């Protein structure tokens, strides 16, 4: 049993894709055990993406992630980290499998609609960044 952090990024919220993303999660029987909408500050986005702070795209990414509200969710289930990554598709939408969220909706390598944790350790850190245990119904 695993948990992972999912984010519908500002482009996804702006373009009316909240329902589409949630529909795909539910179709895969991925359980949502926490959910909220927030608008991050630049500092909060920099903290969340701290692992990427040396990357050339860090400043643009943190500007993008603060450009509007996001929907943050905790997903729970067996192998949910990999299963959700599979639903998302590759970081670069041009390389994403057809039928994945990013292949279907991303418009740019940065504006790729969704975030998902990549490993149990990062999932634990990312979930804690947004949610207290009291806010998770699992």
**Least separation in angstroms between CB 21 and ligand IDP:** 14
Q: Counting contacts by CB under 6 A, is residue 129 touching ligand IDP?
A: no
Rounded to 10°, the helix 18-27/80-88 angle is 130
- Which of positions 59-78 make contact with ligand IDP (CB under 6 A)? 61
User: Considering Cα of 61, then 64, then 68, then 73, what sign does the dihedral take?
Assistant: negative
Q: Counting contacts by CB under 6 A, is residue 46 touching ligand IDP?
A: no
Is 115 tagged catalytic?
Answer: yes
Q: Counting contacts by CB under 6 A, is residue 122 touching ligand IDP?
A: no
Q: Counting contacts by CB under 6 A, is residue 18 touching ligand IDP?
A: no
CA separation, residue 107 to residues 2, 12, 94, 136 (Å): 30, 10, 9, 32
Distance CA 30, CA 59 (A): 32
Residues that bind ligand IDP (CB under 6 A): 52, 57, 61, 91, 109-110, 112, 115, 118
Active-site annotation, residues = 115
């Amino acid at each position: 049993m695993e948990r992972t952090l999912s984010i519908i990024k500002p482009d996804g919220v702006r373009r009316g894709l909240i329902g589409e993303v949630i529909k795909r999660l539910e179709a895969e029987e991925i359980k949502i055990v926490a959910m909220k909408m927030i608008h991050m500050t630049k500092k909060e986005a920099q903290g969340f993406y701290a692992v990427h702070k040396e990357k050339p795209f860090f400043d643009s990414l943190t500007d993008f992630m603060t450009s509007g509200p996001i929907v943050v969710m905790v997903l729970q289930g067996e192998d949910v980290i990999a299963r959700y990554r599979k639903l998302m598709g590759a970081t670069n939408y041009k390389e994403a499998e057809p039928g994945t969220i990013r292949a279907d909706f991303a418009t740019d390598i940065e504006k790729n609609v969704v975030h998902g944790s990549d490993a149990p350790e990062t999932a634990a850190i990312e979930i804690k960044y947004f949610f207290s245990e009291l806010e998770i119904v699992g």
